[in-house]
Structure 1
Amino acid sequence: MLLLSCNLEEDDLKSLLETGASVNAPPDPQEQSPAHLAAGGGLACFLLWQLQTGADLNQQDVLGETPLHKAAKVGSLDCLSLLVASDVQIGVCNKNGQTAEDLAWSYGFPECARFLTMIKCMQTARSSGEQQERDPRAPVLRQKRSFRTVESGVMKRKC
């Protein structure tokens, strides 16, 4: 696995910390945090370091995308796994109404899309089970997908 081959030098980490920049501070006009850039580059090792230093996993850039969206767009299963293991919100939609799962499908990364689908189903089942434990007579709420057509003819989830 990629994480096992990480060789960040202690001096490199020290110099990054000494710069004084916040781990969640957007460094560019696109409002992408270092976690966005790491996930978008498929750099699981750097993303792990960002997560360990307190990066906001659900921070959205100007497109409304989180690091999870960025990892899905480049097909980085390593980054997706790290983010999901860190309890990222997988149902967040970007400004076009797309989740990371939607982007993985549309960018041609079916393995990543299936992974996110499986995680979403597991989270839904877990939350449904918790709801039933609280009140077994309470109806189980199911998230319905509503679709709308966009100019390109691609179907997207409406959030």
Structure 2
Amino acid sequence: MLLFDCNPEVDNLKHLLENGASVNAPPDPCEQSPVHLAAAGGLACFLLWQLQTGADLNQQDVFGEAPLHKAAKVGSLECLSLLIASDAQIDLCNKNGQTAEDLAWLCGFPECAKFLITIKSMQTIKSSEQSNRDHSVPMLRQKRSFGSAESINGKRKCW
């Protein structure tokens, strides 16, 4: 609990939660929800709780940043993992046109950037495979008859 006392994001988050803030309500002038604050503080336990209570993990603040951007800026691989596992939009851009990956590189967190690149690649492959399955032509199979049958004119026909 000593960590909580020295972290300003935690103080803000605790204040919001104590005052009954909605998980998706932007409570401050920057329109940052409790999910933004948890991700910005690298607080995976608070983030998980927020996600379990129905928080919008793609909600953007006044800077166009979603919680994924916040987690990338502070280098929280744990928060990034939680957000990705909860289906956060990985290619969402902020108002400067930057993705979470861009911010991870910019803020000096290459392990977070590489993680996001890997996830993006996996999603692209999965999407491509799904697209190929959806567009493939099903093979038509004919039933084979063994033996013979009579034709219309009464003659037997072998197949």
- Correspondence for 1:89: 89
Identity %: 76
Residue correspondence of structure 1 range 81-120 to structure 2 within 5 A: 81-120=81-120
Amino acid in the other structure paired with 2:32: Q
Q: Which of structure 1's runs of 4+ aligned residues deviate more than 2 A?
A: 18-21
Amino acid in the other structure paired with 1:116: L
- Once residues 110 and 32 of structure 1 are traced to their aligned partners in structure 2, the CA distance between those partners, rounded to angstroms, is 25
List per-residue Cα deviations over 1:46-85 (Å, max 9, x = no partner): 1011001110000000000000000000000010010011
- Once residues 117 and 97 of structure 2 are traced to their aligned partners in structure 1, the CA distance between those partners, rounded to angstroms, is 17
- C-alpha RMSD of the superposition: 1.7
- Correspondence for 1:126: 126
- Once residues 95 and 33 of structure 1 are traced to their aligned partners in structure 2, the CA distance between those partners, rounded to angstroms, is 17
TM-score (normalizing by structure 1): 0.74
Any idea what SS the aligned residue of 1:29 has?
coil
Larger radius of gyration: 2
- Correspondence for 2:72: 72
- Once residues 81 and 74 of structure 1 are traced to their aligned partners in structure 2, the CA distance between those partners, rounded to angstroms, is 13
Any idea what SS the aligned residue of 2:89 has?
coil
- Correspondence for 1:31: 31
- Once residues 76 and 104 of structure 1 are traced to their aligned partners in structure 2, the CA distance between those partners, rounded to angstroms, is 10
CA shift for structure 1 position 136: 3.5
TM-score (normalizing by structure 2): 0.74
CA shift for structure 1 position 19: 3.9
- Correspondence for 2:62: 62
CA shift for structure 1 position 97: 0.3
Residue correspondence of structure 1 range 13-32 to structure 2 within 5 A: 16=17, 19-32=19-32
Unaligned runs of 5+ in 1: 1-12, 138-159
Amino acid in the other structure paired with 2:48: L
